[in-house]
Structure 1
């Protein structure tokens, strides 16, 4: 499931911006389908133009019937009548989604302690202070078993001791849920921490749910700004040139 809201607050209309010949949302849809891992892939949107664009490119789209606070709420509405077990949420601005990351996050639900886990997601190391200090990059800190402790747009942990050996992780916009977990999520009112940070995973933590983070070394390049879009175009063109 790919939630797609047209009026993004930081970069309105970004999902319909051109990314080397196709809109960003179509590139993300194609990437998800291209993994070959899913029985079906849908874009779930509040936008007529996004719905029509996906269908024009041969894809599947569902128009959400309600206003929603976040993408997971939108997906919960869409999957409620479906007979499915695992739901994967790929953010619409993640056109470089890859199968390797998807396999890792789905593997969580095959492990011995999977019954304890409500949600699995992906984190990747950040290597520069510019990345770490960018509020568009959501940071995550985890315990020794890679269960999430907190997510923030701030640099967490604060680097008071520069030689502490801390690795900073960026949260990638891919989540896997059991269907019932996302249905339950949508029934929970947003609390102050999520409202402040505008990070939907915080809602799970505020209500005592467990999030398993999976490490990935593949770069996390989501599109939040025009600068991100320009960088994505460079990466895409470089990939085409290498084929």
Structure 2
């Protein structure tokens, strides 16, 4: 299987300044992400950034780096710029691996690419895992999704979905959670380069703006998103100082 990985790595971060260059276990955060991508079996791994400081740091540990425009609104647009500039074929597969996921298992990166390789009718592939904890299901920072019987995404939401209408007990939120249908979305995407280009040309949809979930733009415009289910979800990404400390502790424990 031939696929590529692009890691969008923006230096500016509101909640955690200079996030991608913060050190974990003696390495910048983005290096851990790059090493995970390299371990996935990808034929090419590119770090895409709009900042020369990030580019210089990445080149020092041997990464291929592309300097992209500073005007992009999302990492997806940054990935698209790399794909277009590199001249990748429209049927090539590229995985968008966010630059703040240092604990992403390489096997999941490959799994996302494999899903798209195996499904010619899909435009995008992503992953999810079963949700069991009520607090996660109710947490708006945990993105939930529902699928059709063939494994294609129907909807993504920050709300607890699906919601059991007639629970045994109406006084407990847990009674509304259908455990067999509750899934958490893993923010890892594989695209066909042609679909990625089409997606990047589309304006944000109302649903996307409402939920602040970019993947809803794809569903709004009829893209087919294939979802793979894993029982081995990645640990948390890094958005805050607390996350950074937690990830560092997990790495020390390995």
Structure with the greater alpha carbon radius of gyration: 2
Does the CA contact (< 8 Å) of 2:19 and 2:29 recur in 1? yes
**Equivalent residue number for residue 87 of structure 1:** 94
SS at match of 1:116: coil
Match of 2:219 among 205, 208, 218: 205
SS at match of 2:76: helix
Match of 2:233 among 219, 223, 227: 219
C-alpha RMSD of the superposition:
1.9
Distance 1:165 1:144 in 2: 17
Does the CA contact (< 8 Å) of 1:94 and 1:173 recur in 2? no
Q: Which runs of 5+ in 2 are unaligned?
A: 1-5, 168-174
**Equivalent residue number for residue 208 of structure 2:** 194
The Cα shift of 1:88 comes to 0.8
Distance 1:168 1:23 in 2: 35
Does the CA contact (< 8 Å) of 2:116 and 2:123 recur in 1? no
Does the CA contact (< 8 Å) of 2:95 and 2:112 recur in 1? no
CA distances 1:12-32 after superposition (whole Å, capped 9, x unpaired): 322222211112111101111
Q: Which runs of 5+ in 1 are unaligned?
A: none
Distance 2:44 2:229 in 1: 25
Matched, 1:47 2:62: no
From the superposition, tell whether residues 159 and 223 of structure 1 become closer, same or farther in structure 2 (CA, over 3 Å): farther
TM-score by length of 2: 0.85
CA distances 1:167-211 after superposition (whole Å, capped 9, x unpaired): 422221211111101011110011122123222211101111110
Alignment of 1:27-38 (within 5 A): 27-35=32-40, 37-38=41-42
Matched, 1:119 2:124: yes
Matched, 1:18 2:20: no
Aligned residues: 236
Matched, 1:65 2:80: no
Alignment of 1:82-161 (within 5 A): 82-84=87-89, 85-111=92-118, 114-158=119-163, 161=167
